[in-house]
Amino acid sequence: MGQEIATARFTPEDLAAFQARLRAETDLLAAWLRDGVLDASEPQGGFELEAWLVGPDLAPAPLIGPLMERLGDTALVPELATFNAEINGTPQALCGDALSQLAAELAATWARCDQAALATGARLAMIGILPTVRPEHLSLAYMSPRRRYRALNEQILALRRGRPLTLAIVGRDHLAITHEDVMLESAATSFQIHLRVGAREAARVYNASKILAAPMVAIAANSPYLFGRDLWCETRIPLFEQAVSVGGSILAERVNFGIRYAERSILECFEANLSRYPVLLPQLMDEPPERLAHLRLHNGTIWRWNRPLIGLDAAGSPHLRIEHRVVPAGPTVADGIANAALYFGAVHSLIQDDPSPEERLPFLLARANFYTAAREGLPAEIQWLDGRIRPVAEILAKDLLPRARRGLLGLGIDAGEAEHWLGVIAGRLETGRTGAAWQRAYVARHGADMAALTAAYLERQQGGRPVHEWAL
């Protein structure tokens, strides 16, 4: 959930001053976008991987503090819960063997962090929702001590006027509970894919990312179980949306798919941030306007499934990224990088189309496709760019995999590199085995013992082979 803040207590004067700075920084961003300040010289790709800490009993282990002390570096950063952590990859120019470089770095960091975790009595797991998590784990007792999270919890509950959060998910089973705080969000972990873009193509990339969200969430699904209930193929989607719901208008919900495509400029997202979303963290910062500190802090409290981000490089120069947030963590490093390869290649291909894909697929259909695919996975039938309704698996096999190959080659990725990583996606399509499908098949064969499922999952994850090669 982002950067730390200096205080968790704010005054009306803080809010007024923050809003004034936010307006001024939004105006500055508009000028930068108009003048080409944010144009990128080359596309770059990166990622953030959220992970679980799991104890010997296979339940969440609140040991992030001891783990970070043992590591002694910034490889791992805290998340909302003391049993969650995040690994950030080093961005790579998307050419040559960039995908394998991302994979090698992630594998090395994962191994180092997992080894340190073992010394604390835990281990790392990459999975969208840990099958053994229970409602009692998702309490304020397990919240990270960082001020940011306490303030977010207080502010979201204030917007709800103290009403508890309601989680209601209808899938293969039904789940309906109430919860007193935002800790439900810590049960959902992601593999967030970042793509650095220039201002001129940012709106097209943003729109294409929305269109891709449905097939991406279907092929990457890895979160079928929550509290022992079999729900959606990617239950993380409704879980996260409802976990931080402010109630009331859909226009102000902090986790959302959006209400339309970007029509002219990516600036429209930041203008919506200003007009539609109440400020949650009015932390005033002694930073020059050119660092867009207040704009970036506010944007970090709005979790669009496809989110534009403003970043600063080591020299302080700003750049623009699209963060594709629909993909869950896991099952393996190989699966995560393959998902990134599919996204990078397919989005690069889609933005070359004329007429544009957003002209051929109305926004409301793209949004409906996303939730259908998250619920049903690869068998889901959605309307695609040609106007036909087809299974997601067929769309991936016949359109998106060839597109992704062309897109990766167009970016400058080596041909063998593209074939290798997209081959992992092809393997999933041939077997029909996503992480969610493997979990359900394991339960069908061995029974609904969530601890046994978790143990079997972790054993195969440790082996490193992509999920379509996993045995039951």
Tell me, what amino acid is at 191?
Answer: F
> Residue 169's beta-bridge partner residues?
175
Cβ(98)–Cβ(45) below 8 Å: yes
Cβ(220)–Cβ(327) below 8 Å: yes
Specify the range with the lowest mean pLDDT, choosing from 51-55, 152-156, 334-338. 152-156
Does any domain span residue 7? Answer: no
HEC per residue, 130-192: CCCCCHHHCCHHHECCCHHHHHHHHHHHHHCCCCCEEEEEECCCEEEEEECCHHHHHHCCEEE
Which pLDDT value is given to residue 427?
98
* Own/partner long-range contacts of 296-299 (Cβ < 8 Å, ≥24 apart): 297/2, 297/3, 297/5, 298/22, 298/273, 299/270, 299/273
- pLDDT tens-digit profile of 295-325? 999 999 999 999 999 998 878 889 999 999 9
Statement: residue 6 has pLDDT above 70: no
- pLDDT tens-digit profile of 204-247? 999 999 999 999 999 999 999 999 999 999 999 999 999 999 88
Does any domain span residue 174? Answer: yes
* Nearest alpha carbon to residue 396 among 369, 415, 416: 369
Query: Rounded mean pLDDT of the chain?
Result: 95
Which pLDDT value is given to residue 5?
60
Which three-class secondary structure state does DSSP give residue 334? helix
Does any domain span residue 117? Answer: yes
- pLDDT tens-digit profile of 71-101? 987 888 999 999 999 999 999 999 999 999 9
* Nearest alpha carbon to residue 243 among 341, 166, 314: 166
Domain count, the chain: 1
The model's pTM = 0.97
Q: C-alpha angle with apex 59: 58 to 62, nearest 5 degrees?
A: 120
Per the structure block, which two tokens stand in for 192?
A: 């967030």
Statement: residue 2 has pLDDT above 70: no
Does any domain span residue 6? Answer: no
Q: How far apart are CA 29 and CA 240, in angstroms?
A: 29
Enumerate residues 6+ apart whose C-beta is below 8 A from 119: 70
At 39, is the pLDDT very low, low, confident or very high (cuts 50, 70, 90)?
confident
Does any domain span residue 171? Answer: yes
At 173, is the pLDDT very low, low, confident or very high (cuts 50, 70, 90)?
very high
* Own/partner long-range contacts of 337-340 (Cβ < 8 Å, ≥24 apart): 337/99, 337/102, 337/103, 337/106, 337/421, 338/421, 338/422, 338/424, 338/425, 338/466, 339/191, 339/193, 339/216, 339/219, 339/220, 339/425, 340/45, 340/47, 340/99, 340/102, 340/191, 340/193
Cβ(274)–Cβ(26) below 8 Å: yes
Which pLDDT value is given to residue 1?
44
Q: How far apart are CA 189 and CA 186, in angstroms?
A: 7
Which pLDDT value is given to residue 9?
76
The boundaries of the domain holding residue 418 are 12-469
Does any domain span residue 186? Answer: yes
At 8, is the pLDDT very low, low, confident or very high (cuts 50, 70, 90)?
low
The pLDDT of 447-455, averaged and rounded, is 98
CATH code, domain with 318 = 3.30.590.20
- pLDDT tens-digit profile of 117-172? 999 999 999 999 999 999 999 999 999 988 889 999 999 999 898 899 999 999 99
Cite the beta strand spans of 346-443 per DSSP E: 381-383, 389-391
Phi/psi at 77 (5° precision) = -125, 155
Does any domain span residue 5? Answer: no
Does any domain span residue 3? Answer: no
